[in-house]
Amino acid sequence: MPIRRTSFRSMPATAKSRPPLEPGERIVLNEQGGYKIRARSGWKTTEFYLTNQRFFLYLQVNGIILDVPLKQITGIRVEKMYYVMRTREAINLQYQSETDKCQSVWIIVNQWRDWKKFLTQLCFLKLDHEKLSQIAALVDDDCRVMLDYFWRHGHAHIHQIAEAIDAPNHMHVLMLIRDSINPAAEKVVGCPVLAFERSKKDPVSGEKVFFNWWLMGRDTPWQDTTDRLLDILDEGSRLQVILEVKGVGQQDLSIDVQAEQLTVQSHKNGEEWQECFNLPVAASGHSPYIRLKNNLLEIRLEKLDSG
């Protein structure tokens, strides 16, 4: 008779129950494990929860026994500690109490790498252009287009990303996020940078956005500013203008050329704007070449005097 093998559990099972959550709160990780508040105290078993708002310990009988908002977590490190007759990796979480006192809790979970990764993402990730460039250097062209899109917009629905890279289907986009972008981000910043949110407030518009992918760890959202990408190239008999735009399609745009001044205008509802640019030489506005792809607007104008 064959022997049936069972998986080894170093942590005894406890009865499952779901704690109450706040409005808009979402569980990121949930696992049973051991914890202790003081380094010399004994280990106790509980359920750990990490949400998009807080980290807490929960017991069915006692309810929430430790509740720490993410903004009060000040540090995280992994150290070796003795647990259930062997040495295990323990996460030491430092946090600021309500009385501004620095405190710690040690936790041991089987999936400790995931806990460290997502705690880092939610509490400590600070993504700037330099780090984003380091991530982009490790991935292919489609992934770089996706990262650029997220850097400028902050978030996107999957169909917007699929359109930006001409993806064959949504699964292709998800595979790029899972197998390329987030693994590259873990090498550079120690955690994923793209995360899916069912509902989250846009920091620019203040509106709730549903079922979008978000770029995590940004200090400030991208905004239309005069230092965005703008390049004017002299190609002999013509000028090439490359301008970064967002939130509009090519059908929403019109241009007007008056000698040495180029005006670009958006007519899309909610995205109306107009900008003027000085050209190095006078150009003709007759039959200009206009192409918009991946939020880069290319305009080609014939010079009035090419000689």
Fold adopted by 27-123 = PH-domain like (2.30.29)
| Class of residue 11 by CB neighbours under 10 A (exposed 0-12, middle 13-18, buried 19+) | middle
C-alpha 133/C-alpha 112 separation (Å) is: 28
Question: What average pLDDT does the segment 32-36 reach?
Answer: 96
Q: What is the mean pLDDT of the chain?
A: 85
Q: How does strand 289-293 pair with strand 230-234?
A: unpaired
Which sequence spans correspond to the domains of the chain?
A: 27-123, 129-215, 230-302
When pLDDT is cut at 50, 70 and 90, the band that residue 8 belongs to is very low
When pLDDT is cut at 50, 70 and 90, the band that residue 286 belongs to is confident
How much of the chain is in helix, strand and coil states, percent to nearest 5?
20, 40, 40
* 74, 150, 294, 299 from 247: Cα distances, Å: 37, 12, 11, 18
When pLDDT is cut at 50, 70 and 90, the band that residue 227 belongs to is very low
pLDDT at site 67:
95
pTM of the model: 0.59
- Of 7-21, 22-36, 97-111, 211-225, the poorest mean pLDDT is in 7-21
pLDDT at site 197:
84
CB neighbour list of residue 183: distance below 8 Å, 6 or more residues apart: none
Q: Which residue has the tokens 């007519």?
A: 267
C-alpha 240/C-alpha 301 separation (Å) is: 7
Per-residue pLDDT at 129 exceeds 60: yes
Question: Which range in 178-182, 239-243, 278-282 is most confidently predicted, on average pLDDT?
Answer: 178-182
Task: Choose which CATH entry (1.10.10, 3.90.25, 1.10.3470, 1.10.357) describes domain 129-215.
Answer: 1.10.10
Model confidence pLDDT, tens digit, residues 155-185:
999 999 999 999 999 999 999 999 999 999 9
- CATH architecture classification, 230-302: Sandwich (2.60)
Q: Are 216 and 125 in contact (CB under 8 A)?
A: yes
Locate 223 and state its tokens. Answer: 């905004």
